[in-house]
Every structure is written in C-alpha cells, then in structure tokens.
Amino acid sequence: MFSALKPLPTDPILGLMAAFKQDTNPNKIDLGVGVYKDEQGNTPVLRAVKKAEAFRLENETTKSYIGLAGNLDFCQKMESLLLGEHKALLANRVRTAQTPGGTGSLRVAAEFIKRCNTNATVWVTTPTWANHISLFEAAGLGVKEYPYYDYENKDLLFNEMIDTLKSVSKGDVVLIHACCHNPSGMDLNAEQWEVFAELAKDVGFTVLVDIAYQGFGTSLDADAAGLRLLADTVDELIICSSCSKNFGLYRERVGACSIISENAATADVSNSVLLSVVRSIYSMPPAHGADIVATILGSNELTQEWHQELDEMRGRINEFRGLIKTRLAEAGVEQDFSFIERQHGMFSFLGLNKEQIERLKTEYAIYMVGSSRVNVAGISHGNMDYFVNAMVNVLK
C-alpha cells in the first residue's frame, strides 16, 4: 500500500525553519516563523501563564476526559473575551467547543460547514494564511478567493473585494480575518466593517471569522470590534479563535470554535452537530492549555497581569514597525516603507522580489518566506543595524 505514495513538497515555512536552524552565521535572523519573539529572540512563557500552571499543578485532582466540548468554563470565558456582553450571549444563541488550537478550530468549522451544505464554497482573501485552503479542501469543500491586498499600493482592494462578494451564493461561506491579517497586516477600518456586515446580511452568505491575534493589533476590544459588529448584524456566524499568540500557548494547542445561531433552539441543534464533528475528528480536546486560560481569565489579579504582558508584546511589535520605517529612511532607502505603520499584528509584506529575498538569505542569513512576508517581532534592537544594512545593500 505505502509503495504507491508519492513524496509531497515540504511546507515552505517548515523548510525555512529547518534551514535557519542549520545556518551557522552568528548574525542570522529568522523573520519567517509566525511566533512572537522578545528582544533576546525567545518566545517566552508569560508570567501569568506560569502562575496559572503552578495553581493547576497544585489543584488538579483528575486526569479523566473533559468531554466533547472541552472545558466549559474556558468556553464561556472565551465567548466573553470575543464578544463582550453581546446580545447574542444574553439571548443564549452562542455555542462553543474547545479545540486543539486555531487550526483545529478551523478544521472543525470546515466539517461543520460540510454538514450544513455539502456543496458550500469557502471564499478566502487573496492572500490568506497558507493553511486555510488546504484545511477546507481536506474537508471536501470548494475554495475560491476574493480580492483583498493591493501589493502595488500596500493597501486594501476594498472596492474590488465588495464587488466580488456581491456575487457569492447564499449557501457559501466567506472567511475574513478579524484583525492582524495574516500575511499582509492590513485590516478593515470601522466603516469598511460596516459595509462588509451589511453586505453579508443582504447577500445572505455565512461569515467565518478567523481571530487568531486578538490583542496584538490595537487592544482586546478594538481587535474584536469587527467581529462584534457582524454579530450585531447577521443571524448566523462562525468564529474560530486561538490562544496561541495572545496567551503565548503555541505548543499547548488551545483554540475554540463558536457558532452563533438565530435563536436558542437552533443553537442547540447547531451544538449537537458541532459536537458530532468533534467526536469524529479527535473525540475530546486536551485539558492543560484551556485550564490555564480559564484560570487566568477567572482571576482579576492574573487577568490584569496578562493584560500588562499583552500590552508589552503589542507595544514592542508596534515600536519596531515604526523603527523599521524610520531606520530605512535614515539609511537612504528611497523605497517608501511607511505602510508598515498602517498595518497591525506581527506580519507585513516588504515588497521585495525573489532575487532580493534570496540575497538576504544567502549573503546575510536573514530568512523570510518567498512572498517577502516578515514577522516584525523577529527584529530587535540588537539586530536592527544588521537588518537595515542588509536591506540597503539588496535594495541598491
């Protein structure tokens, strides 16, 4: 049986990670992998997480299964984090299942969509997170793209986006990033969110919101403003969330899939299908990471400390967005990099061509993916001069 298999290409980011690890250049910089890094280039365990883990170690009393929906306290607290005191919660229209990370949430959502409409097509932004398309196709769903990022002007193709989505079928699903768009960093503004929400209501397509970076853009509430507006406007909504970035729980794989239905009775039906999907994929989620999040959000002291740490991470990212722009201009680079400050989250396209990207890697050991998407958090005060000098040389 196995002899019939053909080798598949390595994921570009995973290949980049492997090449970076093998590089012996002491000045090497990894701008490819999508994790937060501090000034020393580490991805730290948050202080609030450490304290929550210590509490859990001391107070955990069982290793029994936690059920299909996972930690129900975690699910309730995630709903509040995402939606605030939204009318959908007050009307008992929201159901949530804990999932193994944001990727697990998306796969659960894909299978849920398939149960709702076997012929559904999922529309994603051009570009989008590379794994989106394969996740939906693996569930047997068709995937199409709609215009989003303007590579030439470093902005949104918003009018083109809306014109395309006007023709989406009622039974289809449109995926949109709530904030910190991966990979472009370009987000909708408040007025654009209003236009999009009204379009979803008028056309009747279902919106799937991917919110993997809440708190990494402007603030926890501001980053969820578009999501909450959608929940105000449409009767049905799918939300895929992740705690990898804002809680730093990458390897714990903590996420959630939330379904907002038209009423409480329909929500119960949706929940039964959602849990059936969970049962058929992984049966029950792991406990550790969700317990950490629930412990933090259940403690005023730990929540306050987490907010402070989240502010520090977001502040560092935004600081280096400004520094990259300023330092490149001071070094005499004629290309305008001011767009970096208009973007949100960890990612940005630098607008480099393939030759320039290859030179950065081979001559300077600076690693980024082939689209020139960079993780801004990979820059530090310690490597800024080296990065700027390399950019000046390859942009000549």
Residue 129 falls in the annotated catalytic set: yes
Residue 245 falls in the annotated catalytic set: yes
Half-sphere exposure of 31 (CA within 13 A, CB side): 31
Residue 395 Cα to chain centre, angstroms: 30
Q: Is the dihedral of CA 52, 54, 56, 59 positive or negative?
A: negative
Query: SS3 string of 200-259?
Result: HHHHCCEEEEEECCCCCCCCHHHHCHHHHHHHHHCCCEEEEEECCCCCCCHHHCEEEEEE
CA 260 – CA 258 distance, rounded (Å): 7
Residue 210 falls in the annotated catalytic set: yes
Evaluate whether 265 touches 91 at the Cβ level (below 8 Å): no
Contacts of 185 (CB under 8 A, 6+ apart): 340, 343, 344, 345, 346, 347, 348, 349
CA 25 – CA 335 distance, rounded (Å): 28
Q: Is 373 helix (H, G, I), strand (E, B) or coil?
A: strand
**Residue 25, class by beta-carbon neighbours within 10 Å (0-12 exposed, 13-18 middle, 19+ buried)?**
exposed
CA 86 vs CA 79, 89, 254, 327, 386: distances in Å = 9, 5, 23, 43, 47
Among the listed residues 30, 187, 210, 291, the single catalytic one is 210
Contacts of 251 (CB under 8 A, 6+ apart): none
Among the listed residues 37, 77, 245, 361, the single catalytic one is 245
Among the listed residues 51, 77, 123, 129, the single catalytic one is 129
Q: Is 176 helix (H, G, I), strand (E, B) or coil?
A: strand
Q: Is the dihedral of CA 87, 91, 95, 98 positive or negative?
A: positive
Q: Is 348 helix (H, G, I), strand (E, B) or coil?
A: strand
The long-range contacts involving 11-18, CB below 8 angstroms and separated by at least 24 positions, are 11/130, 12/130, 12/369, 12/370, 13/130, 13/369, 16/367, 16/368, 16/369
Evaluate whether 230 touches 249 at the Cβ level (below 8 Å): no
- Residue positions annotated with a catalytic role: 129, 210, 245
